[in-house]
Structure 1
C-alpha cells in the first residue's frame, strides 16, 4: 500500500515538473481595482512619474507623494466614456515608445528637465500619428491638477479650506485688511 502511495506521489511530482517550464510567470498581474482599464503596476508607476513631472515636489509635496496617480485612474475608470478610456490606455501603453523615440531613452531614466520637455512636446504636437499621446497627456494633466488641488494635503496643510469666507471683525480699518490672492 505504501508503495502505491509513493508511486502516485512520484507520478504527480514528475507531471508537475514537466508542466512548470510551460508556465509563464513573467506576465505582470493586472490590478483589479480598475474594472475598465488594464493597469499593471509598471504602468501605474509610469503614470506616477508623469504626474510627478507635471507637479514636482519642492517646498510642498509633489503629485506622486500624495498618490495622485490613483485619483487619475479612478477618474478615467469611472467618469470617462469607453472611447476616452481606450485613448487613455493606448496613450499610456505607447508613452514609453514615444519617450524612446523622442528623447532617446525611457521616461524613468530622463532627468526632470528632459521629462518636462518631453511632456510639453507631447502636449503641443499636432501630428495625427501622435494624437493618442497628446490626448493622454491632456487628460493626465487635467486630472493631475484636479487631484492635487482637491487632495487632503492641499486642503488641510497648504491652503486650509474654510467653509465661510472668514471670521467677523467688527471694528477694523479698511487700510489694515490684507487679502490673500490665491488666484492672481
Structure 2
C-alpha cells in the first residue's frame, strides 16, 4: 500500500515538473476579450485613470465607476479599422512616456489637476510626431463621453429614458414639472 502512494506521489511530482517550464510568469497576461488589441491589465487600469480624468466622480459616478474603459476597448476592438486600431495602440503605448516628459512622473502618480493638464496638452499637440498620441486621446475622449452617456446608470437614474413621451397636459405650472426625460 505504501508503495502505491509513493508511486502516485512520484507521478504527480513528475507531471508538475514537466508543466513548470511551459509556464511563463515573466510577462503580464494579455486580455483575450480584445483580440485585435494587445491590452494588459495595467494598460486597462491606465485607461481607467485617463477616462476618470475626462469624467471624474463627483455628485454622480465617474467614468471608471461605470466601467467605461471596457466600453472604450470594445469599441476600438470592434468598430475601428485596422489602421485606426494601430494608431490608437501606438498612442496608448506612448502615453505614459509623454506623461513622464510633461510632468516628471507617471500618470498614475499625478494629482487630478496635473492629470487634466497632461490630457489637455496631449489633445492640443500640433507636432507631426504626436499625431498618434492626439488620435489616441481624441478617440478615448469621444468613447468616454459616449459610454458614459449610454450607461445604464445615466439612462435610468440621472436622466430617465422614456420610450413614449408623456400625456399631453394643457396647463401645467413650471414649478410642478419633474426632472427632465429623454424620449426615444
Count of residues paired in the alignment:
178
**Range 38-47 or range 173-182, more displaced:** 173-182
Q: 2:37 corresponds to which residue?
A: 37
Matched, 1:54 2:54: yes
Q: 1:123 corresponds to which residue?
A: 123
Cα displacement (A) at 1:160: 0.5
Cα displacement (A) at 1:76: 0.3
Q: Distance in 2 between matches of 1:179 and 1:154?
A: 13
Cα displacement (A) at 1:23: 6.3
Q: Distance in 1 between matches of 2:173 and 2:18?
A: 87
Native 8 Å contact 2:160 2:180 kept in 1: no
Q: Distance in 2 between matches of 1:21 and 1:174?
A: 73
The structure-2 alpha-carbon separation of the partners of 1:124 and 1:172, relative to structure 1 and needing over 3 Å to count, comes to same
Cα displacement (A) at 1:168: 2.3
Q: 2:161 corresponds to which residue?
A: 161
Matched, 1:63 2:68: no
The structure-2 alpha-carbon separation of the partners of 1:176 and 1:96, relative to structure 1 and needing over 3 Å to count, comes to closer
Structure 1's unaligned 5+ residue stretches are: none
**2:61 is paired with a residue of what secondary structure?**
coil
Q: Distance in 2 between matches of 1:63 and 1:162?
A: 23
TM-score by length of 1: 0.83
Cα displacement (A) at 1:90: 0.7
**Range 159-168 or range 46-55, more displaced:** 159-168
**2:123 is paired with a residue of what secondary structure?**
helix
RMSD: 3.3
Q: Distance in 2 between matches of 1:153 and 1:176?
A: 25
Q: Distance in 1 between matches of 2:78 and 2:19?
A: 40
Please list, as runs of the form range in 1=range in 2, the aligned pairs for 1:51-130 lying within 5 A after superposition.
Answer: 51-130=51-130
TM-score by length of 2: 0.83
